[in-house]
Amino acid sequence: MCGISALLLADSSQVAVGELLESLGLLQHRGQDAAGIVTCGHKGRLFQCKGNGMVRDVFTPPRLRALSGNMGVAHVRYPTAGTPADSEAQPFYVNSPYGIAMAHNGNLTNDSELRHFLDYEAHRHINTDSDSELLLNIFANNLQKTGKFRINEQDIFSAVEGLYSECRGAYAVTAMLAGFGLIGFRDPHGIRPLVFGRRKSLSGKGFDYMFASESVVLDALDFTDIEDVQPGEVIIVSKSAVTRRRLVVEETIAPCIFEYVYFARPDSTIDGIPVYNARLDMGVKLARKVKQELGDSMDIDVVIPVPDTSRAAALQLSHELGLPYREGFNKNRYVGRTFIMPGQEMRRKSVRRKLNAMPTEFKDRNVLLVDDSIVRGTTSQEIIQMARDVGAKKVYFASAAPAIRYPNVYGIDMPSRTELVAAGNSDEDVSAAIGADRVFFQDLDDLVASCRLFNPKITTFDTSVFDGKYVTGDVTPEYLEKLEERRADCSKLKADSADNEVIGLHNYK
């Protein structure tokens, strides 16, 4: 899962890097592995800074001062394809044709086929294992076919239309053509999010335009007229005009439902659905499930959320059950999100560094812990044990999402079924595995209903991690097996070693 943004300022004397940096700070929750910014300055010259680490670590003041120009693209990364190598930090860049920088959120499902085509037919060199570099080179190859000295919007539409026919999977993309402008587009199913907005320029002449993964970025930077880029739509922002066209209209539009469960910030709105409100309704429906299953044996004393994502659902659940809501865990905000940390052992150790249980809220009580989901079970097991260590009598555990039993192939790193605690197991098995007295999972129909409540026009979501149904229709058991091998935790940790590092052409050190 990644976060992307792009900005074009109407006043060519202004510098875009400051607000691009702010955008990455607002999207840091979407990726903590690497960050990068590429800007375009005078005469189309590109400037870049990217590398592994948090936003605050990658962009030092001297590096920021070197990023001149009134437009740029930016990216925060958590690796789901390729490796965490420094060379795979985005945005990626190709000099031919025209000078293109691209940032990508998602995952391609036909990357092997594309890699073969680019090598044997297009004769374009691919320097990393990242599918984002493949996407960039497919786009570049399609633009190359025009053979023009200068291109126009129609040439770009044609290039992206070709990309739509060649690339399968999930992708939200922001790109920049040197000296020309910005491009934003989403995959035909709309699996990954992308929003677009504008604001009046500070100079009073014209408008500034911005793309971002989440609406919170545009809200914070005072953009207005914020809207979702439609699935299969391409928006081109040049120095003189905004041109848009929906090139592909799929029968099945399926935004990733895990955005609403976990990834997106609660103050974002994605595809017309306010994330916070959707999470509140998840709490309403989860309360009904707990009531139904416990019945007359309801003995819960207090509801406690696992911070931060589950707070909205836990708050509404406690209200529905008529039980007190308490903050039982104190969070160290300087530790990253455990879900997106590589390695089971690293995730396990990080939990206790990140959370501290407050004995006064647990001692001699039957507690219901509420979390957004249960993925590997590592975090849940540690948290339940922490509750018992400070005196909880019983520990129930409720998940705002259904049981995750299948790999994700569209940009979320939960590829291996062997890593998923619920895969092939009953709810009772999961309870035993994580040490809970009982586990409650949200029903899938209720989760979908919680999201559709705010935008009934969306009839389908990507729920593949819960039901194993992949909307792109090209995911085979053989593909899943290869994906598991490629993304195994052991290979990620191995890739972290210096001996395996690919020296990136972008290095700023």
Q: Are 126 and 117 in contact (CB under 8 A)?
A: no
Instruction: Report angle CA 35, 84, 401 to the nearest 5 degrees.
Output: 85
Alpha-carbon gap, residue 139 to 383, rounded angstroms: 45
- Label residue 38 exposed, middle or buried (CB < 10 Å: 0-12, 13-18, 19+): buried
Helix (H, G, I), strand (E, B) or coil at 90: coil
Whether a cis peptide bond, with omega within 30° of 0, leads into 477 is no
Alpha-carbon gap, residue 192 to 107, rounded angstroms: 9
In the annotation, is 167 catalytic? no
Q: Are 15 and 70 in contact (CB under 8 A)?
A: yes
Pairing of strands 92-94, 195-200: unpaired
Please report the DSSP string for 392-443 in residue order: -SEEEEEESS----S---SS-S---GGG-TTTT--HHHHHHHHT-SEEEE--
Q: Are 102 and 135 in contact (CB under 8 A)?
A: yes
350: which 2 tokens? 């990080």
Of the candidates 2, 49, 167, 256, the residue annotated as catalytic is 2
Alpha-carbon gap, residue 268 to 59, rounded angstroms: 25
Measured between alpha carbons, how far is residue 193 from residues 170, 233, 296, 394, 465 in Å? 10, 12, 43, 40, 18
What positions carry a catalytic annotation?
2
